[in-house]
Amino acid sequence: LQRSDEEIHSYVQLYQESVKEFQDTLNSLKEESKRRALDEPVDDMPWEFWSHLLLMIDGWFLEKKISTNDAKLLREMVWKRDGRIRNAYMASKQKNESEAISAFLRLTSSPTRSGLHVIHIAAEMAPVAKVGGLGDVVTGLSKALQKKGHLVEIVVPKYDCIQYDRIRDLRALDVVVESYFDGRLFRNKIWVGTVEGLPVYFIEPHHPGNFFQRGQFYGEHDDFKRFSYFSRAALELLLQSGKKPDIIHCHDWQTAFVGPLYWDLYAPKGLNSARICFTCHNFEYQGTAPASELASCGLDVYQLNRPDRMQDNSAHDRVNPVKGAIVFSNIVTTVSPTYAQEVRTAEGGRGLHATLNFHSKKFIGILNGIDTDTWNPETDTFLKVQYSAYDLQGKAENKEAIRRHLGLSSADFRRPLVGCITRLVPQKGVHLIRHAIYRTLELGGQFVLLGSSPVPDIQREFGDIANHFQSHEHVRLILKYDESLSHTIYAASDMFIIPSIFEPCGLTQMIAMRYGSIPIARKTGGLNDSVFDVDDDTIPVQFRNGFTFLSPDEQGLNGALERAFNYYKNNSKSWRQLVQKDMSTDFSWDSSASQYEELYEKSVARARAANLA
């Protein structure tokens, strides 16, 4: 009995010890869970919320209400989407500003940093200041990088013709940033707001030239002055706001000045944390000007007007901003792999092929994506009926709706509808677009064109064609830009024609496929990287998605157009499968953003390794 009691007692003791051990483990797991909950990003707030917080903190810093270090720590908490800063904001919504600042400052213990800090300096941003594809790229890439956990900010000019209704929480900061130009300092008013969930800074110069009060974005006699001024003012803003970005990403010739300005003037002043990335969206536009004009923004003309720096390759008394950006940037990109190859040739480089070849190690082509939130037939509010790859009845209804809207014949529902949305400029193959209208009619199709031309002769020529067909039952030309109609044309078209002479990337072919309109495209630039011929046996079957041609002439176009019509009329089941395949292809920014992310991270890592050495 005694031995039995002792055994029972030892078992009870073991049980009590194991219960205590279990309780300790449970408690430590609870503590770990609490810590993780604090560390993990909060996903229950929209991007606009975090961008608004970031701009509020920057405003406090610029207005000298918080220190550089506190601003840095608070920015990093926003960057991480830290639940504590969200809670502090919610708790202080009804308090005055000084109480709110006190609540925020209590949080500045030591958050850990993750991701990269990327700042885009650009002349365009969709949808608020958009002329072409540049605006779409800035917004699309920024949103994709933001979703990957990076802090992304954008600096643009405050144009008078900006779409203010698309900016949330726009306000002017109670601070003036002074920047140098033409031998003196000029004041700049800084506005902040969120666009598509992204934090944006708008610079309004107080300069007698009224640089951005012209009623248009580009095309002014003093564009070189306007954008060299803006590039310097943008860097001044970054310096004075105490930002330490990992990457400053500039775009096209308008902000190509950022590279030389950064390394020659701002890195010595302490704005020296960043690598510079430059993207040229079209090498046709280089912004060359007399070398003397470079002095206005404070750059040294004597030092920079040299063959190995900014001197234009074809005129020794002129400077070339794009060349300067290629020389002074750590990363140089363009908007598709094929275009990157084309511009390294004498024919495609527009005078910069030698410079690009010399700097080829840092030059790469990355295919753009499209904003799949904006361009989504399943949710598109511009459409009469939304539809998907596996419910194509809605596409048929949109085709019928546009026929009624434009006064086209609906007698033969199966009659193929060919769409074309473009700027009518020589680059886009206007002579082939004109030919396609007549050839489509001969083949028994219908044709809808949406677009206008800045070239008076071309606008006049297409105006005459539009008048000729104004009451025709199978052709309609709308010579203007109409956002709502563009969505409808993508949805209604069976085929989409893109006969460009050269095309750095092209977005219309991707949007067309997303809406189930089969592309007929010339094999050039980004078209060659995204449209693959259904009859090309060298391409795996799963990637074949359209009809292509090589020769930029009527014969080349005819071949592709006729093959598309035959396929549509004689293989209805295969055509439907082709439509579904194209609609299911991923043209989002996700893949492209991953490539940029990798480029950024490698460049930043190389810089850090060099600093340690």
* Interval 65-79: pLDDT, tens: 888 888 888 888 888
Q: Could you tell me which residues come within 8 angstroms of residue 176 by beta carbon, excluding any fewer than 6 positions away?
A: 187, 188, 189, 190
Sign of the Cα pseudo-torsion (393, 397, 403, 406, in order): negative
Mean pLDDT across 185-212: 97
Q: Which pLDDT belongs to residue 591?
A: 92
117-121 and 417-421 beta bridge pairing: unpaired
Averaged pLDDT of the chain = 92
Q: Which pLDDT belongs to residue 37?
A: 52
Q: Which pLDDT belongs to residue 42?
A: 67
pLDDT at 39 over 80: no
pLDDT at 230 over 80: yes
Mean pLDDT across 372-401: 96
Which position has the token pair 């060099």? 610
pLDDT tens-digit series, residues 583-596:
999 999 999 999 99
Mean pLDDT across 399-411: 96
pLDDT at 34 over 70: no
pLDDT at 476 over 90: yes
Written as one string, the DSSP assignment of 406-448 is: HT---S-TTS-EEEEE---SGGG-HHHHHHHHHHHHHTT-EEE
Give me 240's structure tokens: 């004075």
Q: Could you tell me which residues come within 8 angstroms of residue 456 by beta carbon, excluding any fewer than 6 positions away?
A: none
> How would residue 187 be classed by pLDDT, with cut points 50, 70 and 90?
very high
Q: Which pLDDT belongs to residue 88?
A: 84
Q: Which pLDDT belongs to residue 97?
A: 86
CA 185 to chain centre: 32
Q: Which pLDDT belongs to residue 518?
A: 98
Q: Which pLDDT belongs to residue 10?
A: 73
Task: Please list the alpha-helical segments (H only) found in 1-67.
Answer: 2-39, 47-62
Q: Which pLDDT belongs to residue 23?
A: 76
Q: Which pLDDT belongs to residue 75?
A: 87
Q: Which pLDDT belongs to residue 519?
A: 98
Q: Which pLDDT belongs to residue 113?
A: 53
pLDDT at 30 over 80: no
Q: Which pLDDT belongs to residue 609?
A: 82
Judged by average pLDDT, the poorest of 60-64, 231-235, 448-452 is: 60-64
293 vs 115, residue with greater confidence: 293
pTM: 0.85
